[in-house]
Structure 1
């Protein structure tokens, strides 16, 4: 069974190594983060500090946006994501599966987390899988407000893939 992680779509564009894992992996991606790709592409704000990286990441984001905008894939998502928490998988030959999830923002944490962060947290809780993120502020708030999920920094991806820490280990005193 592949390892599973909740992640936002932009992270896959920024961290290309996540699409070339050492073993099979399934990324659970809230559908709203797919739509967010177009917002990032339209924004003049830089995504990456180096212009060469910026160009590359924007190209990957464009490819991802085009993939999910493809009429066949778009229709598949529209039909498959009608119900809350419905999932639509897209398998790739390198052992990566992108599973798009119709997560719901229920404003559970009010102003503590933005809507996308809330959807990521709720998806991690719902499917009981770790969250991958590169945002230290987000990680700090997860810890500060004792959100009951497991998360890894993107820098620890290989550790999470190879060993990781089980939920049972986290719960033991």
Structure 2
């Protein structure tokens, strides 16, 4: 059984420990977060404060972009983009890591509290009943303030989330493999 989490694509590149889980994991990525990778890779703004860390993360971003641009993966993603809220077939990175891309569609329901990417993350979490992984404390605080009914784990609690988890609804059978 795979543990599922909604997450931004850049966090996968930024936090290397996400790619070495103790159990199989499915990272659910709203498609817009994949598009953000291109902006971060080509942008002049640093992703990380330390120049060495920034260069390393940008290299990882480039590797992730190449993974998504692989013809086989690209075809799976394009199929998902044919209809709002459609999920791609699993994109296998390893026997422990897979990605599912969701063509999430922002709506104005939470527009007062969250930017479009954040809105797509929380709507994806709500729609699929999958917990969020985030490293942004203020985003987590706003989720609580707005009383959004999603389960969110701080990135520092990733190992706990994988091991202990939350309700059974978060678990996906290995039928997709």
Give the gaps of 5 or more residues in structure 2: 170-177
SS in structure 1 opposite 2:108?
coil
Separation in structure 2 between the aligned mates of residue 93 and residue 70 of structure 1, nearest angstrom = 15
Is the counterpart of residue 109 in structure 1 residue 110 in structure 2?
yes
What aligned pairs does 1:57-136 form with structure 2 within 5 A after superposition? 57-88=57-88, 89-136=90-137
TM (normalized to structure 1)?
A: 0.91
Maintained 8 Å contact 1:20/1:94:
no
Question: Does the CA contact (< 8 Å) of 1:5 and 1:26 recur in 2?
Answer: yes
Contact in 1 for aligned 2:111/2:119 (Cα 8 Å): no
Verify: 1:26 aligned to 2:29, yes or no: no
What is the CA–CA distance in structure 1 between the aligned matches of 2:73 and 2:153, rounded to whole Å? Answer: 29
Identify unmatched segments of 5+ residues in structure 1.
169-173
Quote the RMSD (CA, aligned, Å). Answer: 1.5
Q: Alpha carbons of 1:29 and 1:141: their partners in 2 closer, same or farther (altered >3 Å)?
A: same
Quick one: higher RCO (CA 8 Å, sep 6+), 1 or 2? 2
Superposed, which structure 2 residues align to 1:48-63 within 5 Å? 48-63=48-63
Measure the CA separation in 1 of the matches of 2:165 and 2:71: 38
**TM-score of the two chains, using structure 2 as the length reference:** 0.89
The answer to whether the 8 A contact 2:29-2:102 is kept is yes
Quick one: distance in 2 between partners of 1:109 and 1:92? 32
